[in-house]
Amino acid sequence: MVTEEPGFLTRTRRRLTRTGDAALKRFQRHSPELPERDAKRLADSIERCVDPTTGEMVARAEADEIGARYRTLDETGRRNFFELLANSFGRDEDAVEEAIGRRAEISTGESPDVDELLAVERQLRRALVAPRENLFRRFNGLDDGVKFVVDLRDDLRDFRKGDGYPPQFRAMDAELRDLLSSWFDVGNLELRRISWDTPASLLEKLIAYEAVHEITSWNDLKNRLEDDRRCYGFFHPGMPDEPLIFVEVALVKGLAGNLIELLDTESPTGSPDDADTAIFYSISNCQPGLAGVNLGNLLIKQVVTALLTELPHLKMFSTLSPIPGLRSWLEERTNVLPSTVSAAMSDTTWVDDPARVEALQEPLLELAARYLLTAKRGQQTQDRVANFHLSNGSRVERVNWLANPTAVGLDRSMGIMVNYRYVPEDIARNHHLYLADGEISAHSSVRALIDQ
């Protein structure tokens, strides 16, 4: 896509991924691959850091050294670092078994000693915590420590490809996820509106982190922050300059069914006072290290509250969402698809032929509705975006023909997009029925597409 100047997005992303020069100079004599001799010295430092008898100041100093050393490692060195944590600082299974056995012995006695039982349960809780978890907590006390731990988990998850993710790595991943879930509890998060007056350094991150509809220029970004638009993000006090997740909203009249029109930088700016509908057209998770930490549904609920506080006349809250799994679902069924649909999947020139566009509309809309309402993995819908919104209590409101006829839109879902509508009085019911029974709430017009 065309940007305002060559390399615009590349330079933006590069600025966001620079490592600290101080750490590089501090360990310039050490190999970035973390060979065995270096790993042994690092293990000694980790041992001192997690030892409960180590003084607080010494432990923090060790954590600082470990964190600085980690920042200098290359991919091989980081894998060696995680293998060191996995093999030398995991849970002591013997201590766990001993505590479990002792508890069973006390509790099955004729007159269990309550104080002794409580003491052995405390022992069991301590034994269940791997020493490396104490290291992760130590990192929280460093400058930018919260961000460091988030990125640490992101690095760990990079090894999931192929056979590179052994059970010990999965255990560390789960430990980090649980730790981060407690740090990023909703009570610790701040909802912040992002506007054109927001510092440029944060706006650059918005550009870099946008994961649904690429921001192609500063003019494009400015258009998304005009008076008839809103952008909100969650922030954490430990990462005040880093958005965790953000949502972009268009204030319009009625349901929006065309992304190109919605993002047209040439269209006149509307008045938020004339709008009756808020369209959530992009939700982007900014921190891969927070995968599995539930932030999206909390964001939507708080944004709806914020919008109603500012604009109480709004009547409808809906998304305009891609259907990312539709194309692959169709490809799995090419042998049973109408020939016109099969041909269109390998030749995108059909969008420029009015006759073919008209001929494809009915079968493709029917297939899109069938995919959304019937393609499931277990009880849940197969499409990840649909699963997110249905889990949050929305309903499938409308399937939109050629809502995104760009190359990306055609590749994702043959240009089709969908509105998921949030009706406040129905959210709790929809949420319960979907999670309990896999029941998908959908407007009658959507169901009619597959009942023809």
Convert the pLDDT of each residue in 90-103 to its tens digit. 998 888 888 888 88
User: Are 331 and 303 within one domain?
Assistant: no
CA distance 71 to 152: 10
Q: Whole-number mean pLDDT of the chain? A: 91
21 vs 250 pLDDT, higher one: 250
pLDDT over 80 (residue 23): no
Same domain for 59 and 143, yes or no, is: yes
pLDDT for residue 1 is more than 50: no
- Of 285, 319, 353, the last residue of a domain is 319
Paired with 235 in beta bridges are: 190
Q: What angle do CA 437, 384, 402 make, to 5 degrees?
A: 115
354: CATH: 3.40.630.150
Question: 13 lies in a domain?
Answer: no
Q: Are residues 172 and 313 in the same domain?
A: no
**CATH code of the domain in which 68 resides:** 1.20.140.90
The encoded tokens of residue 303 equal 């944004």
Question: Residue 273 has what DSSP assignment?
Answer: G
Scanning the structure block, which residue is given the tokens 């914020």?
306
**Residue 21: per-residue pLDDT:** 53
In a domain, 98, yes or no: no
Three-class DSSP category at 275: coil
Mean of the pLDDT values across residues 330-337? Answer: 92
For tokens 């069924």, the residue is 333
Please, which pLDDT band fits residue 13 given cuts at 50, 70 and 90? very low
Looking at the chain, how many residues does it have?
452
CB atoms within 10 A of CB 150: 25
For residues 25 and 173, state if they share a domain. Answer: yes
Quote the domain boundaries for residue 223: 187-319
* Other beta carbons less than 10 A from residue 12's beta carbon: 17
Does 102 map to a domain?
no
The residue out of 319, 351, 374 marking a domain boundary is 319
Residue whose token pair is 């009625």: 254
> Are residues 367 and 436 both part of a single domain?
yes
Burial (Cβ within 10 Å: 0-12, 13-18, ≥19) of residue 134: middle
Would residue 85 count as lying in a domain? Answer: yes
Phi, psi of 171 (to 5 degrees): -65, -45
Q: HSE (CB half, 13 Å, CA atoms) of 73?
A: 22
Question: Does 4 reside within a domain?
Answer: no
- Together in a domain, 200 and 333: no
Joined together, the tokens standing for residue 143 give: 């400058």
**How far apart, in whole angstroms, are the C-alpha atoms of residue 150 and residue 137?**
12
pLDDT tier, 22 (very low <50, low <70, confident <90, very high otherwise): low
Whole-model pTM?
0.86
Distance in angstroms (rounded) separating the CA atoms of residues 79 and 155: 9
Residue 369: which residues within 8 A CB-CB, separation 6 or more?
396, 399, 446, 447, 449, 450
Average pLDDT over residues 210-236: 96
Residues 57 and 159 in one domain: yes
Query: Which of 402, 400, 418, 398 shows the shortest CA–CA distance to 410?
Result: 402
d(CA 447, CA 434) in angstroms, rounded, equals 16
The secondary structure of 96-156 as a DSSP string is: HHHHHHHHHHHHTSSS--HHHHHHHHHHHHHHTS-HHHHHHHHHTTSTTHHHHHHHHHHHH
166 and 223 assigned to the same domain: no
Q: At what angle do helices 131-139 and 36-50 cross, to 10 degrees?
A: 80
Residue 249 falls within a domain, yes or no?
Answer: yes
Residues 383 and 396 in one domain: yes
SS3 per-residue string spanning 312-348: CCCCEEEECECCCCHHHHHHCCCCCCCHHHHHHHHCH
What pLDDT is recorded for position 25?
A: 57
Residue found by looking up tokens 């961000």 in the block: 147
Looking at the fold, whether 244 and 228 belong to one and the same domain comes out as: yes
The number of CA neighbours under 13 Å toward the Cβ of 67 is: 28
Which CATH number does the domain housing residue 199 bear?
A: 3.40.630.180
User: Are residues 389 and 311 located together in one domain of the fold?
Assistant: no
Question: How many folded domains does the chain comprise?
Answer: 3
Q: Is residue 114 part of a domain?
A: no
| Beta-strand pair 316-319/277-285 | parallel
Residues 68 and 135 in one domain: yes
Residue 123 belongs to some domain of the structure: no
CA distance between the termini of the chain: 40
Q: What is the pLDDT of residues 380-426, one digit of tens each?
A: 999 999 999 999 999 999 999 999 999 999 999 999 999 999 998 99
- The domain boundary residue, chosen from 319, 342, 363: 319
The proportion of the chain whose per-residue pLDDT surpasses 70, expressed as a percent, equals: 93
